Amino acid sequence: MSPRVQLDPRVDTDLAMMDALRDDPRLVLVLDAGGTSLRFNAIQGGRALLEVPRTLPSFGDDLERCLGQITEGFAATHAATGQRAVALSLAFPGPADYRRGIIGDLPNLTGFRGGVPLGPMLAARFGLPAFINNDGALFAYGEALGGLLPFVNDRLAAAGSPRRFRNLLGVTLGTGFGGGIVIDGRLVLGDNSAAGQIWMMRHPGDRGRVVEQGVSIRAVRREYAAAAGLALDDAPEPKRIAEIAAGAAPGDRRAAAEAFRRLGQAAGDAIASALALIDGLVVVGGGLSGAAGLFRAALLDELNGQLDAWSGPVDRLPFRVLDLDDPAGLAALVAPEIRDLPIPGTEQTIAYAPHKLTGIAVTRLGTTAAIELGAYAHALGEITRG
């Protein structure tokens, strides 16, 4: 077996980190846990070993049954890969004490109440270290290692630019509104294992509600139902609403377009507030990201809009956010306007980019693949750090 790599999150480039993962021979069993299903795989060298992930119902309202499903899924995946795993790594919703592997009171897995030491239970059952982190955080970490962040930095390198992006905000739009933060290549967990909880920001249209009530599958259905004059139970799923908006299925096309516009508006407001602190690229995943074409314009309008200040209108953010799924947006980020400024008192000049820029794009890896890669890298990093 080749030497184990040192997974220091402060390595010089994200490309070097991904190369280290590809060369690592260790195998990690991973779980992406959701409110309705548990999805298991095994990752080695940053690649999934099971062509068809093992998926089991979660039975999230019954703790004993859910724990049995988790144990069964890991046992079957462990056996299928020759029991060569060095660790278990779980993507799990919060609240949780992720560092200690304790799951709190989960809204989507209601059987978890009062604190459940899931990590220690699995470590005792399998004799392997078990690591747990938030699914939104692991999505962002995976995209930082092998997705959008290296994709953009590759393009910058190919263009001869010395600039490199180091920070990433990852958001997932689906059953809920998840988030994760990577700063300078390091996954941000927070002092209370609660960083990246973007879903808890205020809804821009109703200060008494969390923004997730405007950025989720249920939100799209509710907005469509309200605009189309339907009962919520009669509203189709977002995939069908997207087809209606595109004119590919019968229904109220105006209401469908409005439902996604409102989602983009709410998501854009929350992302703008987060970006004002993080200053990095943004990657969007989750089940609703496939309909990005229907809410992208509204989202970008929020990011690049204006607010009032004492001195007059100011840009919402101190940089412009470009659409990196648009070749023109990517080109503008990779080759921005550069001016040569004279250095006072000398005959020299210095290059200056007068416009600050960043970008947003849909996941490059796919949400599940990004979560799995993030879970793999997180587990190996924890093992290396001891």
Read off the pTM.
Answer: 0.92
Taking the mean position of all CA atoms in its chain, how far away is CA 257? 25
Could you tell me which residues are beta bridge partners of residue 360? 282, 323
CATH placement of domain 14-134+368-385: 3.30.420.40
pLDDT at residue 7, rounded to an integer = 39
The answer for residues whose C-beta is within 8 angstroms of residue 72's C-beta and 6 or more apart is 56
* DSSP code, position 209: E
Coil, helix or strand at residue 384: helix
The string of pLDDT tens digits covering residues 210-223 is 999 999 999 999 99
Other beta carbons less than 10 A from residue 117's beta carbon: 14
pLDDT tens digit sequence for 238-258? 999 999 999 999 999 999 999
Q: Residue 4: is its pLDDT beyond 60? A: no
349: number of Cβ within 10 Å: 11
Q: What is the mean pLDDT of residues 79-92?
A: 96
pLDDT of residue 15: 57
* All residues at 6 or more sequence positions from 323 whose CB lies less than 8 Å from its CB, including other chains: 296, 300, 329, 359, 360, 361
Q: Binning pLDDT at 50, 70 and 90, where does residue 14 land? A: low
- Please tell me the distance from the alpha carbon of residue 5 to that of residue 25, in angstroms, as a whole number: 9
DSSP structural state of residue 176: S
Q: What amino acid is encoded at 70 in this protein?
A: I
What integer pLDDT is reported at residue 8 of this predicted model? Answer: 36
Tens-place pLDDT, residues 287-343? 999 999 999 999 999 999 999 999 999 999 999 999 999 999 999 999 888 889 999
- Residue 350, pLDDT > 60, answer yes
Q: What is the pLDDT of residue 338?
A: 86
Average pLDDT rounded to a whole number, residues 169-179: 95
The per-residue pLDDT for 16 is 65
Distance from C-alpha of 376 to C-alpha of 355, rounded to nearest angstrom: 37
Q: Does residue 10 have a pLDDT over 50?
A: no
386 pLDDT more than 80: no
> Do residues 251 and 234 make contact, with C-beta atoms less than 8 angstroms apart?
no
Predicted pLDDT of residue 5 = 37
CATH 3.30.420.40 placement within the chain: 14-134+368-385, 148-364
| Contact (Cβ atoms closer than 8 angstroms) between residue 238 and residue 291 | yes
Comparing C-alpha atoms, which of 355, 332, 333 is closest to residue 281? Answer: 333
Q: Both tokens of residue 314?
A: 């100011």
Bridge pairing between strands 357-362 and 320-323: parallel
Q: How far apart are CA 79 and CA 315, in angstroms?
A: 56
pLDDT score at 354: 86
- Cite the beta strand spans of the chain per DSSP E: 27-33, 37-44, 47-48, 54-57, 85-91, 96-97, 102-103, 130-133, 168-173, 177-183, 186-187, 202-203, 206-210, 281-285, 306-309, 312-315, 320-323, 339-342, 349-352, 357-362
Q: How confident is the model at residue 20 (pLDDT cuts 50, 70, 90)?
A: confident
Percent with pLDDT over 70 in the chain: 95
Domain 148-364 bears CATH identifier 3.30.420.40? yes
Which of the four pLDDT bands, split at 50, 70 and 90, describes residue 21? confident
For residue 130, what are the β-bridge partners?
88
- Tell me the residue type at 28: V
User: What is the C-alpha separation between 200 and 159, in angstroms, rounded?
Assistant: 39
Using CA atoms, how far apart are residues 46 and 375, in angstroms rounded to an integer?
Answer: 10
Q: What is the pLDDT of residues 254-288, one digit of tens each?
A: 999 999 999 999 999 999 999 999 999 999 999 99
User: What residue spans of 12-101 are helical by DSSP H?
Assistant: 14-23, 63-80
3-state secondary structure (DSSP) of residue 65: helix
